C-alpha cells in the first residue's frame, strides 16, 4: 500500500474471461500501469483488494491470481446486482480501473509446509482457493508440501469456474482432484453429489492435514463436521469470510464480527477462531 | 498561575487570529457548533457544550478523498490548508474523544492521512466545565469536567477572568504568543479556581458504575437483556451522528462529465443498509442486533482492541434522542442483570 491507503493503483484490464454458463461470473486479468506499483503490491493467497470502477465506487474482492503469476493480477467477480460489480461486468479489455491493496491476512502458506493439504471449495467461492492452489503447485513451492487434495463442486457442470485449469490439474500426478456437481447433465461424466458428501468419501482421517474450506454458507456448515469427524483440529480448518466493507483497513467500522474486523483480522479465520465469535455473519 | 481578564479576551482571540485559523463555538441555525471565526464577537461563551461534535473539524461529515480526471486516470488529492488551526473552547470530554479517534485512525500503524493532516495541524484550547449539564456523566467513564487530558492549553472560567494553563509543548508556544495579555492570579482568584474545580465535579450527579462491564459483556452477546433496549429505538441514528467517538463511514463516487470525486461521509450502524451485502444477505437485519452492536462496540469490542471504552460521557445521545433512550440506563441495566 502507498502512503495514502485510500488511493488505488491504476490498472488496465488486459483480458476478460466469462467463467460460467449463467455468464454472471467473469475473471478480469489486470496489469499495473506503473511497474513500481506492481512491485509495491506484494501479496499472498487469501488476501483481497478494493477494486475501483471510477464513478461507481469500490468493492472488496479476493485475489484469484497467485503472487507466483508475475505480470498479472486476476480477480473473479460475480455480478451480484451491486453497483460496482455490475459496472465492472460491463467493461471491456483496455479500460482503466483501480486496485487498492493488498488487504487483510492471508492463508498461512509458510506455517503449513510439510502438511497434507485439503482444498475444499464450492461454487464461485473457489477464487482465493485457486490462488492458493496455484501458489502451492508452483515448481518453487510444490516440494514444500505433502499430498494436495482438491475437492471442488458447483451446482451444475456449466457453473464450474476455471474449467481449463481444472483439466490441467486433473492431468497432474501430484494432485488428487475431485470435481463434482450437484446435478449432472447429459455431457457430465464426473462425480455427482454435494461437496460435503464427496469430502466424507475422500477424507477418512486427519493425517497431519490442514483444510481450506470456501463456499456457500450451507456447504461450509456441512463440510466442517466432516472434517471434525475425520479428526481435524479446529485450528487447522481455515475459511474465508465476507462482509460489507468500505475502507479495508479497520477504520470505517462495518465489517466487525464481535471485536474482530474481517478486513483486518481476516478475511481468513480458523474454525477455532470462529467458535469464539458471535454468530453475527 | 496566569489569567486572562474577561475584558481582554477579545484581544486574546485577535492575537490568535493573527497566527492561526481559529475555530470556536458560534451560533449557526439556532445550534451551537464549532466554526472558523472572523471576529471575536462571533464566539459564544455561555454554552454547556456544542450541539455538533467538534470531532467534525478533524473528520468532517463529508469530505473528498481524491479526484480523478477520467482522461488521465490518475487519482489526485485535494490541496490541504497550511495555516495552523486553534480550536478554542472545546470541552474536556470532546478533547478526550479525539484521543480515542487517534487510536482508530492509527490502528496498527496505518495512519488515516486526512484525519492526521488536520489533527497534527491543530492546537486545542480546552475550556473546563464549570456548569455541567444534567446529562453529563464524564466522571463515570474515567474523566471529569476539569480533565486536562488531550488539552494543549486549559482554560477555566472564573468570575472576572479565565485561568490559563499550558499543558503540552504546543500549548506552551501559544502561551508565549499571548504572554503580553496575561496577568498573575491573585490569592483570591487561586482560591476561586480551586473552589470551582471542586464544585464542577460535584455538580455531575449522574454516576454509573462501569467496573468490570467490558469483561461481563464478553459473555453476554446472547443474553435476553438485549430484547429490551431496542423496543423504543426508531433507528434514526441521531446518537451516532452526535457521538464524538462514532467514526463509521461510507465511501462512494460522484461523477460529473470526465471528473470523478471519491467522497467519504459518516455512516451509521443503526441503519439496516450499513451491513447489507450486495447478495442480499444482512448479518444485522434487526434493530435489536444494531442496538447491541452499538453498545457492544463502545463498551466491549473497543476495549478489546484499544484498551479503553469508546464513550466520553458527553451526554449528546441522551439529550437528543427523540424517544428518550438513555445510555446510562442501558449501562445500569447491563451492570445489574445476572451475566
Domains parsed from chain A with CATH numbers = 9-103 (2.40.30.10), 116-240 (3.40.50.80)
Is A256 in contact with B297 (Cβ distance < 8 A)?
yes
Quote the percentage of chain B above a pLDDT of 70. 99
Quote the percentage of chain A above a pLDDT of 90. 96
Is B274 in contact with A244 (Cβ distance < 8 A)?
yes
pLDDT band at B284 (very low <50, low <70, confident <90, very high): very high
**Residue B23 or residue A2, greater confidence:** B23
Whether the full predicted model's pTM is greater than 0.90, yes or no, is yes
The pLDDT value given to residue B279: 86
Is A54 in contact with B68 (Cβ distance < 8 A)?
yes
Q: How many CB pairs under 8 A join A and B?
A: 118
Q: Which residue of B has its CA nearest to A3?
A: B113
pLDDT band at A281 (very low <50, low <70, confident <90, very high): confident
What is the residue-averaged pLDDT of chain B? Answer: 94
Number of neighbouring beta carbons within 10 Å of residue A279: 11
Q: Is the pLDDT of residue B206 over 50?
A: yes
C-alpha distance from residue B200 to each of B136, B152, B189 (Å)? 11, 21, 16
| Distant-in-sequence, close-in-space partners of A220: CB < 8 Å, separation ≥ 6 | A213, A214, A239
Task: Give A251→chain B minimum CA distance, Å.
Answer: 6
Q: Is the pLDDT of residue B273 over 70?
A: yes
The Cα B189–Cα B161 span in angstroms is 9
Contacts of B262 in chain A (CB under 8 A): 6, 52, 57
**Residue B257 or residue A237, greater confidence:** A237
The Cα A210–Cα A121 span in angstroms is 14
Q: Is the pLDDT of residue A160 over 70?
A: yes
Mean local confidence (pLDDT), A178-187: 95
Mean local confidence (pLDDT), A218-246: 96
Using CB atoms, pick whichever of A54, A59, A259 lies closest to residue B305: A259
Among A245, A209, A233, which residue's Cα sits nearest to residue A114?
A209
Listed by number, the residues of chain B in 103-122 with a beta carbon closer than 8 Å to a beta carbon of chain A are 104-105, 107-108, 110, 112-114
What is the residue-averaged pLDDT of chain A? Answer: 96
Residue-wise pLDDT for B37-92, tens only, equals: 999 999 999 899 999 999 999 999 999 999 988 887 677 776 676 789 999 999 99
The pLDDT value given to residue B79: 64
Write down how long chain B is. Answer: 339
Using CB atoms, pick whichever of B104, B251, B301 lies closest to residue A258: B301
Mean local confidence (pLDDT), B108-125: 94
Amino acid at each position: 500500500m502507498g502512503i495514502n491507503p485510500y488511493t488505488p493503483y491504476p490498472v488496465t484490464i488486459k483480458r476478460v474471461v466469462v467463467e460460467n454458463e449463467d455468464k454472471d461470473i467473469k475473471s478480469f486479468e489486470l496489469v499495473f500501469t506503473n511497474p513500481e506499483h506492481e512491485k509495491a503490491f506484494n501479496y499472498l493467497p487469501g488476501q483481497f483488494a478494493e477494486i475501483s470502477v471510477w464513478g461507481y465506487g469500490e468493492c472488496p474482492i479476493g485475489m484469484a491470481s497467485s503472487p507466483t503469476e508475475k505480470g498479472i493480477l486476476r480477480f473473479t467477480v460475480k455480478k451480484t446486482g451491486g453497483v460496482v460489480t455490475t459496472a465492472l461486468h460491463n467493461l471491456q479489455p483496455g479500460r482503466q480501473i483501480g486496485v487498492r491493496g493488498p488487504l487483510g491476512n492471508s492463508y498461512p502458506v509458510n506455517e503449513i509446509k510439510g502438511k497434507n493439504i485439503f482444498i475444499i471449495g464450492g461454487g464461485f467461492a473457489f477464487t482465493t482457493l485457486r490462488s492458493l492452489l496455484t501458489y502451492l503447485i508452483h515448481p518453487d513451492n510444490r516440494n514444500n508440501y505433502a499430498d494436495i487434495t482438491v475437492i471442488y463442486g458447483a451446482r451444475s457442470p456449466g457453473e464450474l469456474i476455471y474449467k481449463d485449469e481444472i483439466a490441467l490439474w486433473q492431468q497432474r500426478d501430484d494432485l488428487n482432484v475431485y470435481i463434482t456437481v450437484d446435478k449432472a447433465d447429459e455431457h457430465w461424466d464426473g462425480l455427482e453429489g454435494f461437496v460435503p458428501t464427496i469430502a466424507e468419501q475422500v477424507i477418512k482421517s486427519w493425517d497431519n492435514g490442514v483444510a481450506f474450506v470456501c463456499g456457500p454458507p450451507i456447504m461450509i456448515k456441512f463440510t466442517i463436521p466432516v472434517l471434525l469427524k475425520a479428526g481435524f483440529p479446529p485450528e487447522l480448518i481455515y475459511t474465508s469470510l465476507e462482509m460489507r466493507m468500505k475502507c479495508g483497513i479497520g477504520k470505517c467500522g462495518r465489517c466487525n464480527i464481535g471485536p474482530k474486523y474481517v478486513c483486518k483480522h481476516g478475511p481468513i479465520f480458523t474454525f477455532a477462531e470462529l467458535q469464539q465469535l458471535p454468530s453475527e455473519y | 498561575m496566569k489569567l486572562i481578564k474577561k475584558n481582554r479576551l477579545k484581544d486574546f482571540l485577535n492575537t490568535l487570529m493573527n497566527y492561526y485559523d481559529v475555530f470556536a463555538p458560534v451560533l449557526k441555525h439556532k445550534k451551537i457548533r464549532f466554526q472558523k471565526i472572523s471576529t471575536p464577537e462571533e464566539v459564544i461563551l455561555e454554552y454547556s457544550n456544542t450541539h455538533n461534535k467538534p470531532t467534525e473539524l478533524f473528520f468532517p461529515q463529508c469530505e473528498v478523498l481524491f479526484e480523478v480526471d477520467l482522461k488521465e486516470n490518475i487519482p489526485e488529492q485535494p490541496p490541504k490548508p497550511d495555516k495552523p488551526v486553534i480550536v478554542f473552547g472545546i470541552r474536556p470530554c470532546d478533547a478526550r474523544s479525539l484521543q480515542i479517534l487517534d487510536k482508530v485512525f492509527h490502528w496498527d500503524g496505518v495512519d488515516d492521512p486526512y484525519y492526521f493532516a488536520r489533527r497534527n495541524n491543530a492546537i486545542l484550547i480546552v475550556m473546563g466545565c464549570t456548569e455541567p449539564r444534567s446529562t453529563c456523566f464524564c466522571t463515570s467513564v474515567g474523566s471529569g469536567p476539569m480533565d486536562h487530558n488531550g488539552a494543549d492549553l486549559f482554560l477555566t472560567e472564573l468570575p472576572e477572568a479565565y485561568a490559563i494553563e499550558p499543558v503540552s509543548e504546543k500549548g506552551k508556544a501559544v502561551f508565549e504568543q499571548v504572554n503580553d495579555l496575561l496577568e498573575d492570579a491573585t490569592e483570591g482568584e487561586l482560591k476561586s479556581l480551586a473552589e470551582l474545580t471542586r464544585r464542577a465535579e460535584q455538580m455531575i450527579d449522574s454516576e454509573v458504575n462501569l467496573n468490570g462491564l467490558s469483561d461481563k459483556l464478553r459473555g453476554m452477546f446472547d443474553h435476553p437483556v438485549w430484547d429490551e433496549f431496542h423496543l423504543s429505538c426508531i433507528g434514526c441514528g441521531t446518537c451516532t451522528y452526535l457521538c464524538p467517538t462514532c467514526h463509521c463511514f461510507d465511501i462512494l463516487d460522484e461523477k460529473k462529465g470526465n471528473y470523478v470525486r471519491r467522497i467519504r461521509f459518516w455512516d451509521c450502524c443503526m441503519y439496516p443498509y450499513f451491513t447489507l451485502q450486495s447478495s442480499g444477505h444482512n448479518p444485522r437485519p434487526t434493530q435489536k442486533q444494531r442496538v447491541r452492536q452499538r453498545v457492544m462496540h463502545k463498551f466491549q469490542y473497543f476495549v478489546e482492541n484499544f484498551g479503553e471504552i469508546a464513550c466520553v460521557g458527553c451526554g449528546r445521545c441522551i439529550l437528543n434522542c427523540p424517544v428518550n433512550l438513555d445510555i446510562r440506563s442501558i449501562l445500569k441495566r447491563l451492570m445489574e442483570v445476572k451475566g
